[in-house]
Amino acid sequence: MGKFRNSSKKSFPKLSTASLPDIVFMLLFFFMVTTTMREVSMKVQIKTPGATEVKKLEKKSLVSYIYIGRPMKNYQKIFGKEPRIQLNDKFATIDDIRDYITSERDKLAEADRPAMTTSLKVDESVRMGLVTDIKQELRKASALKINYSARKMKSIY
């Protein structure tokens, strides 16, 4: 009776991959919980400015977005290089903003409407003239809570 088995045909034990799906599922659930669905496909190029005093936007369901920037390369032939407004998936003009805000507001429950926030995602090279016109339209549509989208930075100098 030997303590050690004297096996001559010692092969490498097969690695069990049975727990691999569990690991991957764990990753999957992590990503499903922490991320949000991409809602629109961007048609304008936006590099938001940096700022130090940014606050996180809470309750994403109450936020509607207005994108302003130069059209992407493949749209530049049709829409030119000047900054344009994008609402949802489409290019829009200043006059469309009020309708957009109204339709966004109608989507919300009555109780949530005062808390509606409009997030302006504007490229840092855009001139203020266009932004001011949009702000004026928002005032007319009485969407008064706005948020200038900005990246968190340590210092802006």
Partner 1 sequence: MAREIQEINAGSMADIAFLLLIFFLITTTMDVDSGITRKLPPYEKDITKTPPIKERNVLVVLVNSRDELMVENELMDISRLRETAKEFIANPKDLPNLPEKKVENVKYIGEYPISKQVISLRNDRGTTYGMYIKVQNELTAAYNELRDELSKQYFGVKFDKLDEDHQNAILQIYPNHISEAEPKNVGGQ
Please report, as ranges, the residues that interact with partner 1 according to CB under 8 A. 17-18, 20-21, 24-25, 27-28, 31-32, 34-38, 48-49, 51-57, 60, 63, 117, 119-120, 122-129, 131-132, 135-136, 138-140, 142, 144-152, 156-157
Judged by beta carbon, residue 111 or residue 128, the one nearer partner 1 is 128
Nearer to partner 1, 27 or 94 (CB): 27
CA gap 29, 129 in Å, rounded:
44
- Whole-angstrom distance, CA of residue 155 vs CA of residue 152: 9
| Euclidean distance between CA atoms 79 and 93, whole angstroms | 12
In angstroms, the CA 75 to CA 53 distance is: 34
**12 vs 31 by CB, closer to partner 1:** 31
